[in-house]
Amino acid sequence: MILSNLPMMNNNRDVVAAKSTGVLVKKSDVLEDALRRTAIIHQSHSLKAFLSACFLEVKLDDFNDQGWQKCHELIAHDELATEVLFSPSIESQCFHPQRIDGILKRGLFPASYIAMKSWLAHSSIEEIFSFYEKQAIEGNEYLLHTVSILLSFKRLWPSLDAQQLPYAIERFTEFVTSTYYHNNHIEYPQNTCSLIQEISVENAILKAVSQPGFWGHNLICLSWLLDAEDLVSAEFREGVLAFIIEQSNWVFPDADDVLNQAIFETLVANTDRAAFHQAINHLIYGSTRNIHQITLAAALVSMWDRVDSLEIKANLYKICCYFSSEAY
């Protein structure tokens, strides 16, 4: 998911106009749009979706302008657009560290935008990422957006130019205030009968394949973690692996959080790479229901290339077909 610098369009209206006139949007258009998208439920997935599409562009021979158009449509389906860069219109102040922490912790807006800019004025973005990585492994949070979206910002940040960074700072501010400081805390009871004591990549893969979670979030988080091993500490890695294994054992009251075994067992397994890529294409293009069509597709492709086990590949194929189904 390494990116080159990408040119910016003039404004978000250009992206909307391109779609309305039937002109396919380009990769740079999607990044421009994603930087201006905010969350409606939980946290914004726009930048994670963009990076997932970057990954698929490399991995799938037929992921072209049509793929970027689909990524744009899925982002627009689930995220709220804004043409405004907020911080320039807010009274400029330079907050000291204690005030910064208090403002971000309480999610005070619009002051949080200025607080994050003040923090960046005397700390590096690497130090700020490290601060939130420590928070991310303090406790196991439902869907693990604390991990995957944080890693998407960390992966994307070095490739952003001076025009893009102000938008990224505002999106990052919205993400951390809604996600950390024990906000958005949801936890479920553990099925202690099926606990795995050993914390390892192999066990995490086995558990995530057997219980992928809501729209495959266990697989999504695991793929982001494994693809970002060059970006994180051993402590962070081990903590997140433990969380994925735990979440695969959680007892959920909502049927959408677990595989419908009756449906899943009717699906025919396949370990052929061409058939798998065909199924991935159907997951991406077959409907416009959820932004995770693109993020899960990238996770499944990443995991398929990582594992040798035909049994695991067969399950990845079935998981792809399951989430492609309108029955889900």
Least Cα distance to 65 among 9, 25, 12 occurs for: 25
Buried b (16+ CB within 10 A) or exposed e, 304-316: beebeeeebbbbb
What is the distance between the alpha carbons of residues 20 and 267, in angstroms, rounded to a whole number?
37
pLDDT category of residue 94 using cuts at 50, 70 and 90: confident
Bridge partners of 142?
none
CB proximity list for 217: less than 8 A, separation 6 or greater: 143, 144, 148, 247, 292
- Using an 8 Å Cβ cutoff, are 44 and 37 in contact? yes
Q: What angle (nearest 5°) sits at the alpha carbon of residue 42, between those of residues 246 and 13?
A: 140
Look at the block and give the residue holding tokens 């607080």. 115
pLDDT in tens, 22-77: 557 889 999 999 999 999 988 999 999 999 999 999 999 989 899 999 999 999 99
pLDDT in tens, 290-304: 999 999 999 999 999
CB proximity list for 46: less than 8 A, separation 6 or greater: 33, 34, 35, 37, 75, 79, 171, 291
Stretch among 83-92, 184-193, 249-258 having the lowest mean pLDDT: 184-193
pLDDT number for residue 16: 41
Least Cα distance to 70 among 237, 247, 60 occurs for: 60
- Using an 8 Å Cβ cutoff, are 49 and 75 in contact? yes
- The DSSP output letter for 72 is H
What is the chain's Cα-based Rg? 20
pLDDT category of residue 17 using cuts at 50, 70 and 90: very low
pLDDT number for residue 179: 95
pLDDT number for residue 90: 93
pTM of the model: 0.91
pLDDT number for residue 8: 36
